[in-house]
Structure 1
């Protein structure tokens, strides 16, 4: 979700105003999962990190002449990084008003408001004319959506010759019963925590979804999570400079610790999230059947 999924409820203006200040524990508990993560300042959620963001942009032939739509942009970390890294023009949409406000603040701080625009919008009804963008990209978002509806809408917004590019998780088909049961349990955890539909497609299902939207030359590339120095470097670059990077994550850790300490509900949420992540990403008997895909399809 990116950062935030396109299925979230829009916050009221009163809720957005509240989250600009320090929230009480009770107020924090009342926020939905992704709104709370936005408030904490979590930069992004997609498994491949900024290294995969850069790779997906390359696969979609993004360069300074291109206009890119990022659906479910969340607080705009990837969108701002992409604009700065490639020089392209980026429009980010998210259905969560809080995330969009924070994304606008991020673009202003980084001095790129002339190349990055953020607005509230629905993945199923993009507020743009047909043929507006050279690329439409999602990161950790399409897996929460109705693929049939969303991919057709993404294709509508593309110029001829443009690309839909997705950075999403997958699971293999034919998983042994015991591992499949544990993965299904992890999927259930993510559904309960986020309040969104979550069931990982296979690479073949991702491919079929893009092709059914009328996209051609669909290519699905499988990857295993492998964080390393390249991602740390990209994170520091995304933050602008190393001292800012350190302050950013120090504040994130302090905020997270505060709310976890004083809220049983939030502690439980993080505990369950850790349990689900372990099954999908770290446990040897299950994680070998799960990864992320960088998939592209072109509009003729």
Structure 2
């Protein structure tokens, strides 16, 4: 990863995901590497596939797919630091020949029509204007190509109290990340795909908790317990040194507890694997 020594004021000015990339956190989506692999199977990614990963972050999932399947993956992210880290990761994992990472906008993807077999997002589309983004996804897909998303969902029908708490968590995550944050219902995700012109739409709901084997795989993917401990210690150091960073993580923890530790709310949230196809 990129080795940059920043001052505390410089770090305090960083966007949330730039800061996570600076710390070395490899991925953010719920479900871990297992959900990435399931999404790849559902999108029929093969060795000869050309895949676009929108919001690639520091390149963990892109490199993981390139290494496991042998496909060519282009990673696109709006922030330059994660892209640079992704390029470093590709070299470290010996998949630089199977990957390309560029800085770019999900609303104006810098590729011509019908360039990709598959377009994927993980914990990214929920921050985007779906009408604008999905229109770009279908534009750059080849006829018959697949779009796959791993994003959070919320139930449509629920009691007023858990609904209010989930609304509160959405506001917290929006404030922490600096992006508009909205968890949509499975039906809403289906409509976003349909509105963009996709067909063969499947929205599969998953609970937000990892099975033991997936938890072990996630720990391994993050570099093992030693690396996780190192990241955690760096987080703690910055929290001690900065009131701003301390508040950011405190708010993040509050949002996570609302969604995943509160009995009244956690039964109403999870992640969806959404798969859709561009018509021939």
Shared fold, TM over 0.5: yes
Structure 2's unaligned 5+ residue stretches are none
SS at match of 2:6: coil
Question: What whole-Å deviation, never above 9, does each CA across 1:44-100 have from its counterpart, x for those lacking one?
Answer: 111111110000000000111111100000000111011111111100000100010
Match 1:263 to one of 234, 242, 247:
242
Structure 2 counterpart of 1:4: none
CA distance in 2, matches of 1:238, 1:133: 26
SS at match of 1:137: strand
Structure 2 counterpart of 1:191: 174
Structure 1 counterpart of 2:69: 86
Q: How does 1:81-230 map to 2 (within 5 A)?
A: 81-230=64-213
Structure 1 counterpart of 2:218: 235
Whether the 8 Å contact between 1:51 and 1:230 is mirrored in structure 2 is no
Structure 2 counterpart of 1:279: 258
CA distance in 2, matches of 1:118, 1:290: 32
SS at match of 1:114: helix
CA distance in 1, matches of 2:161, 2:215: 35
Aligned residues: 278
CA distance in 1, matches of 2:250, 2:220: 30
Between stretches 23-32 and 106-115, larger displacement belongs to 23-32
Whether the 8 Å contact between 1:124 and 1:150 is mirrored in structure 2 is yes
Q: CA RMSD for the aligned pairs?
A: 1.3
Q: CA deviation at 1:26?
A: 1.9
Question: What whole-Å deviation, never above 9, does each CA across 1:203-254 have from its counterpart, x for those lacking one?
Answer: 0000000011111010000000122332244335535xxxx53442132012
- Residues 214/103 of structure 1: CA separation in 2 closer, same or farther (3 Å cut): same
Q: CA deviation at 1:43?
A: 1.2
CA distance in 2, matches of 1:23, 1:258: 13
1:77 and 2:83 are equivalent in the alignment: no
Structure 2 counterpart of 1:292: 271
SS at match of 2:96: coil
TM-score, normalization by structure 2: 0.96
CA distance in 1, matches of 2:67, 2:191: 33
SS at match of 1:164: strand
CA distance in 1, matches of 2:224, 2:255: 27
Match 1:252 to one of 224, 231, 250:
231
Runs of 4+ displaced beyond 4 Å: none
Structure 2 counterpart of 1:56: 39
CA distance in 2, matches of 1:204, 1:38: 32
CA distance in 1, matches of 2:216, 2:66: 17
Structure 2 counterpart of 1:7: none
Structure 1's unaligned 5+ residue stretches are 1-18
Between stretches 82-91 and 96-105, larger displacement belongs to 82-91
